[in-house]
Amino acid sequence: MSYANIKPKLDIPRGQVLSLLKAFFFFFSVLCSWYVIRPVRNEMAVQAGLENLPVLLSIVLLVMLLANPIYSWLVSKVKKDRIVLYTYLFFILNLLCFLLGWNFLDESGRARIAKVFYIWCNVYSFFVVSIFWVSMINFFQSHEAKKYFGIISAGGSLGAFTGSSVARYFSTEICGTASMSDWGPFSLIVVSVVALSIAMILSLGFKPKANHPSNMEEPEEILGGSWMDPFRSVFRSPSVRNLTLYMILWTSVMTIGWMVALDIIQNWSSDSCERTAFFARIEQIVTPLTLICQFFITSYILRKIGIAAVLIAYGFLLFAGLFAYATFPVFTTVLVVVCILRVFEYGFNKPARETIFTALKKQERYKSTVLMDTFVARSGEAMGSWFAVKGMLILGLSSLSAAWGALPLAVLLSWVGYQTTKSKKV
């Protein structure tokens, strides 16, 4: 296959160029706002200890369960083109409250804020990204999504890289001995607020299209319905049900794999600086490879090979990764497996899932997709973490044994991926 066959042949209509550019920088700003404060969240996780992560993730899951009905109620009452605006404004106010609290409270108060901030960050990261994609899947149609979502995802990758770079620049004490400012890592919140504010402004240019298939059927400005709609759709809609099961499985298996990988890395080195450098190396590899895929390969794969192949392949890749962990538990294995899985997730699997979302009914696009990206995804993570850490402990086994136990789940993921595309043709 020659390069000419895989390079993007997007044929972008002149009227769509500006929209694509705005979507690109919209996602750039969203992920920049998250990745600039992600190191703060990660530091809280390290200090909490690996053995405590299942409990923390379970608390996050509970918060997600409470937040989703509130979000569903909101989108049932406000105009569709104001959903992103109100949601992002709410999170901006949250960030400012954290910043003020950190500045004015004493050490004991800051300790409590740090724990709340860890839980809040896990909610924030899922909601801001999920609601961005709600805006996209209600603006672009399915055939447009196959062409453009890879490019838009590349904007997010660049934003993530920029946010991480800014965080690294401002964090004067990662492995060194220099002291930080009085605000410490929370000073990065200022950058996050600016980036999310830019995203909020750009969101105003993405009103749901009147010619979107479901909007032609249901043109009302206000979505209507109730806060229970996303939960009901899991039982009533085969497409939503299959997508929900797929989300639970891949997040569970990915979390199990990540827990096993962390165990391998902890056994490899007890030096915090060395581990930090190792994770930084992963970022340096993943970001450029993901960008190459998103710019030059994703569109071709989705349009020519098909979404089904992507969803099915994910299970086989996870199977191979878990098998590699179980048989070759060394840091080189972690480096290779994590890089491959993350590039595949961001470069192919995420755009494929979002393309499927464009074919859902309007109520499902606004409500069910957010439920899947937040509560369902966190459910999978919580289950995976309990399985990898607490489950193996109860059985008297090491967390490395979880890799063997998760192999059947990886196979099941491929089968569910096939059923998902079978129930919703895109």
Residue 306 lies in a domain: yes
Nearest to 266 by CA among 381, 173, 399: 399
pLDDT score for 177 = 41
CA angle in degrees (0–180, nearest 5) for 35-36-38:
55
Low-confidence residues of the chain, pLDDT below 70?
Answer: 1-11, 42-51, 171-186, 208-227, 272-273, 276-277, 280, 362, 390-399, 423-426
Containing structural domain, residue 120: 13-423
Residue 7 lies in a domain: no
Q: Which two tokens stand for residue 204?
A: 């105003």
The answer to whether position 1 is within a domain reads no
DSSP letter, residue 301: I
In a domain, 4, yes or no: no
**Helices 377-385 & 107-137 angle (0-180, nearest 10):** 130
Phi and psi (nearest 5°) for 79?
-65, 145
In a domain, 8, yes or no: no
Asked if the structure places residue 2 within a domain, the reply is no
Segment 192-214, tens digit of pLDDT: 999 999 999 999 988 765 554 55
> What total number of domains does the chain contain?
1
pLDDT given at position 48: 59
Contact between residue 367 and residue 229 where contact means Cβ atoms under 8 Å apart: yes
Helix/strand/coil (H, E, C) string of 198-263? Answer: HHHHHHCCCCCCCCCHHHHHCCCCECCCCCCHHHHHHHHCHHHHHHHHHHHHHHHHHHHHHHHHHH
pLDDT given for residue 333 in this prediction: 95
Residue 154 domain flag: yes
Q: Which tokens in the block code for residue 88?
A: 């992002």
Domain for residue 38, yes or no?
yes
Longest dimension (CA), the chain: 63
Q: What is the pLDDT of residues 249-266, one digit of tens each?
A: 999 999 899 888 888 888
C-alpha 222/C-alpha 80 separation (Å) is 6
How would DSSP label each residue in 371-401?
A: HIIIIIHHHHHHHHHIIIIIIHHHTT--GGG
Q: Measured between alpha carbons, how far is 89 from 83 in angstroms, rounded to an integer?
A: 10
CB 357 within 8 A of CB 365: yes
In the chain, count H helices and then E strands: 22, 0
| Burial class of residue 188 in the structure, from the number of CB atoms within 10 Å of its CB (0-12 exposed, 13-18 middle, 19+ buried) | buried
CA–CA dist 131, 125 (Å, integer): 10
- The confidence score (pLDDT) of residue 339 equals 93
- What does the pLDDT read at residue 353? 86
Those residues with Cβ within 8 angstroms of residue 251's Cβ, 6 or more apart along the chain or in another chain: 376, 377, 378, 379, 380, 381, 384
Q: What is the pLDDT of residue 277?
A: 63
CATH number at residue 137: 1.20.1250.20
